[in-house]
Amino acid sequence: MIPAAFEYTKPSTVDEAVQALADGGEDAKVLAGGQSLIPMLRLRLAAPTLLVDLGGLGELRGVRDDGDALVIGAMTRYADLLRDPLVRDHAPLLAQATATVADRQVRHLGTIGGSLAEADPAGDLPSVAVALDVSFEVVGPDGWRTISAADFFVDFLTTALGDGEMLAALRVPKQDGWGTHYEKFNRVAQAWSIVGVAVAVRRENGTIAEARVGLTNMGNRPVRARAVEEALTGAPATVDAVSSAAARAAEGADPPADVWASAEYRSHLATVLTRRAVVAAGGIHAS
């Protein structure tokens, strides 16, 4: 289908983009890679009056080392993340989850910022962002501010971005010394995750010292599996201990029910995938 008509502008600086969004009012929308937005335009599920294409903003593209974190421009494409040595070395969980997004054609155009600002709880990167406490650097008519991952995701397809604000960069803490794994269950490449689990664990000898677990598609926004994290902290790095902690993966979650899976099935999947992800992230072997 052909999208409804809209105006289009392609600013060449962040200031111009912020101005264009302000001028466009509430029916203006940011176009990043377009890999979710354009299908919605075609199906006329979205009908903005103005698209502000951020594709010309080179300053929002690329990965930079900033001490204990990486700063990743919101317009950095999935394919460029996957090729980036800083991401590979310091943010392997992000790299692994990104590699599972859709297919190679989509990964060539889709962007990390577009995925996070879309805030689909079935998307793979939001759960990684909450697991790692990624910081969101946003810019708008009132200047720059930083939003934590815990505060950024508000509801289904809804973020803390205010009127006229746009996502500019992500600050991703380095996971040096941590083991990480993303485990995902879906039907085909193009399908959203039925459930996904993003895990980072830090071991001290035979014990799990710290654990972070983010869940994909287990609620109206990406959630932390706090009960699992608490059960893992200080637990022995054994399959039995991980299994009993992972059994609590769905505690506090409110998974959706749809044509692909019931809420009960999703809760079961979350426990299974969490066990697998923690075992893989922690390098834990059956004794």
Partner 1 sequence: MTRISITVDGVRYDDDVESRTLLVHHLRDRLGKVGTVVGCDTSNCGACTVLVAGDSATTRHAVKSCNVLAVQADGTEIITIEGLAGGDGSLHPVQQAFHDRHALQCGFCTPGMILAAVDLLAENPDPSDAEIREGIEGNLCRCTGYQNIVRAVRDAATALRGADVAEPASAVDGQMPGTPQAAPAVPSEPESVPVEAVPRPVP
Tokens 């085909």, residue located:
188
Residues 283 and 179: beta-carbon distance below 8 Å: yes
Which residue number, 86 or 263, has a Cβ lying nearer to partner 1? Answer: 86
70-109 residues in contact with partner 1 (CB under 8 A) are 77, 79-80, 83, 102-106, 108-109
* Cβ pair 217, 121 in contact under 8 A: yes
Q: Which is nearer to partner 1, 77 or 266 (CB)?
A: 77
34 binds partner 1 (CB under 8 A): yes
Give dist(CA 121, CA 284) in Å, integer. 29
> 214 forms bridges with which residues in the sheet?
198, 224
The residue (of 42 and 145) whose beta carbon lies closer to partner 1 is: 42
Is residue 259 within 8 Å of residue 211, measured between CB atoms?
A: no
Residue 157 binds partner 1 (CB under 8 A) = no
Q: Is 64 a binder of partner 1 (CB under 8 A)?
A: no
The DSSP symbol for 25 reads: G
Please give the structure tokens belonging to residue 1.
């289908």
If binding is defined by CB under 8 A, does position 8 make contact with partner 1? yes
Cβ distance to partner 1 smaller for residue 53 or 133: 53
- Measure the CA–CA gap between 191 and 189, rounded to whole angstroms: 6
Q: Which of residues 150, 154, 189, 257 is near partner 1 by CB under 8 A? A: 189
Q: For partner 1, give the closer residue by CB, 81 or 227.
A: 81
DSSP assignment letter at 230: H
Contact residues: partner 1, CB under 8 A: 1-8, 10, 31, 34-35, 38-39, 41-43, 51, 53, 55, 58, 61, 77, 79-80, 83, 102-106, 108-109, 188-190
